[in-house]
Amino acid sequence: MQNMKTTFHLKIRRATLIGTLAILPAVANAQGIALSVGSTIPMQDVLGRNWTGNNGDPDNSSRVEIRRTWTGGIILAPTNGPSQIDTFNPLITNSHLGRGVIGVDPGIYAETFTNRNLLATNLTYYARVYDRPDSSASIYYADTAPFFGPPAEIGSINPEFGARQRVDGEADVDTDGEGLPDAMEGDMGLDAGNPDTDEDGYNDYFEALYDDYLHASEPDPSLSIQINRPLIETDPYTVSWWTIPVPDMTYQLQYRPQQRIADEDDGYFFSNVWVGAATETLLDIDVQDWVGTNVPPKGFFRVTVPYQAP
Please report, as ranges, the residues that interact with Ca ion according to CB under 5 A: 174, 176, 178, 180, 196, 198, 200, 202, 204, 215, 220
Distance CA 5, CA 255 (A): 105
Nearer to Ca ion, 162 or 193 (CB): 193
Q: At 91, is the secondary structure helix, strand, or coil?
A: strand
Nearer to Ca ion, 35 or 216 (CB): 216
Nearer to Ca ion, 143 or 220 (CB): 220
Q: Which residues pair with 113 in a beta bridge?
A: 35
Long-range contacts of 168-177 (CB under 8 A, 24+ apart): 169/77, 176/204
Question: Shortest approach of Ca ion to residue 187 CB, angstroms?
Answer: 12
Residue 11 is classified by DSSP as H
Opening angle at CA 294, ends 289 and 300, nearest 5: 75
Nearer to Ca ion, 65 or 220 (CB): 220
Residue 290 is classified by DSSP as H
Nearer to Ca ion, 121 or 222 (CB): 222
Question: Shortest approach of Ca ion to residue 48 CB, angstroms?
Answer: 16
Q: Would you say 287 and 273 are in contact if contact means Cβ atoms under 8 Å apart?
A: yes
Distance CA 189, CA 211 (A): 14
Nearer to Ca ion, 84 or 165 (CB): 165
Sign of CA dihedral 223, 224, 230, 231: negative
Q: Would you say 151 and 121 are in contact if contact means Cβ atoms under 8 Å apart?
A: yes
Question: Shortest approach of Ca ion to residue 211 CB, angstroms?
Answer: 10
307 residue type, one letter: Y
Question: Shortest approach of Ca ion to residue 178 CB, angstroms?
Answer: 5
Cis peptide before 257 (omega within 30 of 0): no
Question: Shortest approach of Ca ion to residue 251 CB, angstroms?
Answer: 17
Question: Shortest approach of Ca ion to residue 256 CB, angstroms?
Answer: 25
